[in-house]
């Protein structure tokens, strides 16, 4: 089992006839999935998704893959294959197409409909090629065959990429539900056929590799939903991903059986469910859906709201309800169903929302106390079964944190894949497939690119560190006026603190230290404002640390006269 090393340098020129695979996101994390394939001087991208920020990334809206390694080669990109319509696989497409609008998008009907609706907001009209399972398309030098896989969104596809260097199969996100709601199974006969032909490298979903056994069928949730609806005597509010069509279908079915009306809340939920309904993926009885504006005219026991916010996102509808910052007010007796999993890193945010909802009297049903979610990703038993069917010569785990990637590689070894042929990479690590062997070749830069409002890439790790300090320790500003000729103090220091928990009056104790330091620096001929700022920063910082054991941001302002 090979893995990248911190000292990896840039990859050398690709060997003639070789295929290079470079993940720019999705390895070592859950989200931001993007992989670049290079052959014959051309590039093919599979997925282009976003990662959602965690608490230590304050103010950040989205995290994108780093396009810098391919920015100078966008003319060589022959297409972007989108395996399915979840945000962690399509969310960054608008940002890439901003840089070159005519890169073709290839995906299934629902996937393309979801991304095209998103691109309309960015005023981008893409060139799109719709494909379905069983289709085979030539995309530049890449011969691509699409295979049906079952996931938590309809129309998901795996892709087999054939080149003279060998065949690579990318599973995308998948599981092997044997009783899918839409009857669309993961096409195991197709994977067996590809295995017989010879899969040189398999890139496989790792999210549930640590979980033993098989994922329960999606339809198991129906009974739990019905029981929850039976017990609820007031409003029911269901929070789910805005793209989880299968889950929403079960909610609609339960609402229809209990003669309740359903309203969608949240722009992405309204948009995506409208698309799914128009395309026939969501079956909705004629009078079931109502506008949220008419809810006040309906009795509580006849209402179901379906909204976003199952991951505790601060601006999503459910979080705002929990914070009393939404037009829909949670009241005693409401039932709230969180019909989704906890994405790693979001646990605290989700439990904060659960506590907020419970505080206002809601009965909160979630994965921890009822089976209201089943995963969309294959567990260990399914992966073992899958590898025995595919018989890949090399395995590269994708889509998962480090523990998931390693667990997936170990499953591959159990099925007979040699340890040295199980390649654990990370974002930016280039893996070359040459003469049937996959090996790590080097590393390109693949850092986080932060989206903050309209700003893309302007926020740095240093900026986030400053934000964390401001949020945790506060800020102390120190204003002084000095003589530009002598460097002597003319006015101030005036000191003000915000968010530090220290009263402005307390800083009287440090003013003599600042005055003494400035007098000494003036005697030494220090006239440069930046040096004076540093002196003030050290004096105040040391005093605050010694006195209060705190480390606020110190902001000296030096005015010369």
DSSP-derived secondary structure for 428-459: TEEEEEETTEEEEEEE-----EEEETTEES--
pLDDT, residue 19, reads 97
Asked if 78 and 142 count as a contact pair (C-beta separation under 8 A), the reply is yes
For the chain, what is the total number of helices (H) and then of strands (E)? 14, 25
Tokens 């309904």 — which residue?
A: 277
Residues 6 or more apart whose Cβ sits within 8 Å of residue 303: 235, 236, 260, 261, 263, 295
Matching residue, tokens 């400035």: 518
Q: Which has the higher per-residue pLDDT, 483 or 306?
A: 306
Q: Beta strand 489-498 with 475-482: parallel, antiparallel or unpaired?
A: antiparallel
Instruction: Quote the CA–CA distance of 45 and 35 in Å, as a whole number.
Output: 6
Q: What percent of the chain has pLDDT over 90?
A: 57
- pLDDT tens for 90-115 read 999 999 999 999 999 999 999 999 99
Annotated binding site: 373-377
Q: Binding-site residues for substrate, please?
A: 373-377
| 558 CA to centre of own chain | 43
Worst-scoring range by mean pLDDT, 64-78, 86-100, 341-355?
Answer: 341-355
Query: 392 pLDDT band (50/70/90 cuts)?
Result: very high
For residues 470 and 553, is the Cβ–Cβ distance under 8 A? yes
Is residue 147 predicted with pLDDT exceeding 80?
Answer: yes
- Quick one: average pLDDT of 452-461? 71
Whole-model pTM? 0.84
Residue 403 has pLDDT above 90, yes or no: yes
Mean per-residue pLDDT over the chain, rounded: 89
Q: Could you identify the residue written with the tokens 């009241």? A: 331
> What is the average per-residue pLDDT within 195-224?
94
Residues 535, 536, 541: CA angle, nearest 5 degrees: 105
The secondary element (H helix, E strand) that includes residue 540 is helix 529-548
Structure token digits, residue 472: 């945790």
Beta carbons of 282 and 273 less than 8 angstroms apart: yes
DSSP code at position 177: -
pLDDT at 1 over 60: no
CA-to-CA dists, residue 453 to 59, 62, 63, 447, 456, angstroms: 9, 9, 12, 19, 8
Q: What's the helix, strand, coil split of the chain in %, to 5?
A: 30, 25, 40
Query: Tokens for 235?
Result: 């409003």
Q: What is the pLDDT of residues 232-285, one digit of tens each?
A: 999 999 988 888 898 999 999 999 999 999 999 888 899 999 999 999 999 998
Beta bridge partners, 306, equal 238, 264
pLDDT for residue 533: 87
Digit-coded pLDDT (tens) for 32-61: 999 999 999 999 999 999 988 766 676 777
Model confidence at 344: pLDDT above 70: no
């Amino acid at each position: 089992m090979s893995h990248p090393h911190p000292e990896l340098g840039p990859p050398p020129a690709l060997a003639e006839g070789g295929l290079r695979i470079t993940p720019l996101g999705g390895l070592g994390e859950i989200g931001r999935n993007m992989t670049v394939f290079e052959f014959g001087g051309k590039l093919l991208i599979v997925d282009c998704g976003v990662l959602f920020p965690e608490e230590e990334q304050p103010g950040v809206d989205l995290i994108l893959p780093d396009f810098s390694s391919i920015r100078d080669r966008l003319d060589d990109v022959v297409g972007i294959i989108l395996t399915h319509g979840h945000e962690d696989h399509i969310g960054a497409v608008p940002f890439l197409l901003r840089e070159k609008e005519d890169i073709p998008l290839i995906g299934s009907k629902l996937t393309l409909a979801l991304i095209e609706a998103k691109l309309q907001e960015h005023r981008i009209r893409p060139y799109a090629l719709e494909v379905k399972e069983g289709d085979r398309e030539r995309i530049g030098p890449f011969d691509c065959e699409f295979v049906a896989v079952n996931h938590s969104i309809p129309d998901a596809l795996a892709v087999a990429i054939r080149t003279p260097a060998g065949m690579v199969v990318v599973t995308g996100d998948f599981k092997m539900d044997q009783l899918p709601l839409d009857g669309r199974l993961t096409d195991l006969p197709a994977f067996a056929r590809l295995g017989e032909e010879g899969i040189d490298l398999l890139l496989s979903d790792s999210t549930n590799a640590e979980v033993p056994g098989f994922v329960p069928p999606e339809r198991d949730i129906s009974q739990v939903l019905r029981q929850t609806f039976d017990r609820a005597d007031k409003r029911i509010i269901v929070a789910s991903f805005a793209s989880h069509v299968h889950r929403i279908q079960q909610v609609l079915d339960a609402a229809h059986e209990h003669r309740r009306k359903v309203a969608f809340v949240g722009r992405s939920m309204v948009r995506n469910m409208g698309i799914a309904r128009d395309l026939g993926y969501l079956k909705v009885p004629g009078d079931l859906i109502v506008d949220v504006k008419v809810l006040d005219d309906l009795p509580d026991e006849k209402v179901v709201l379906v909204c976003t916010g199952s991951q505790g996102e601060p601006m999503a509808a459910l979080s705002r309800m929990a914070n009393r910052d939404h037009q829909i007010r949670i009241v005693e007796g409401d039932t709230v169903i969180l019909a989704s999993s906890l994405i790693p890193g979001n646990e605290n945010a989700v439990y904060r929302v659960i506590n907020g909802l419970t505080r206002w009297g809601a009965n909160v049903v979630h994965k921890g106390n009822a089976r209201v979610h089943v995963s969309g990703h294959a567990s260990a038993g399914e992966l073992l079964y899958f590898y025995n069917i595919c018989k890949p010569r090399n395995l590269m785990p994708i889509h998962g944190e480090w523990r998931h990637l390693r667990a997936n590689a170990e499953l591959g070894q159990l099925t007979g894949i040699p340890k040295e042929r199980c390649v654990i990479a990370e974002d930016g690590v280039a893996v070359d497939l040459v003469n049937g062997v996959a090996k790590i070749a080097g590393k390109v830069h693949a850092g986080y690119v932060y989206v903050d409002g309209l700003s893309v890439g302007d926020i740095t790790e240093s900026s986030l560190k400053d934000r964390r300090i401001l949020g945790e320790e506060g800020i102390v500003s120190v204003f002084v006026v000095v003589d530009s000729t002598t460097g002597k103090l003319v006015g101030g220091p005036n000191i003000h603190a915000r968010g530090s928990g220290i009263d402005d009056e307390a800083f009287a104790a440090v003013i003599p230290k600042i005055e003494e330091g400035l007098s000494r620096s003036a005697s030494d001929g220090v006239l440069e404002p930046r040096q004076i700022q540093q002196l003030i920063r050290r004096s105040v910082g040391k005093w605050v640390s010694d006195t209060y054991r705190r480390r606020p941001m110190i902001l000296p302002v030096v005015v010369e006269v």
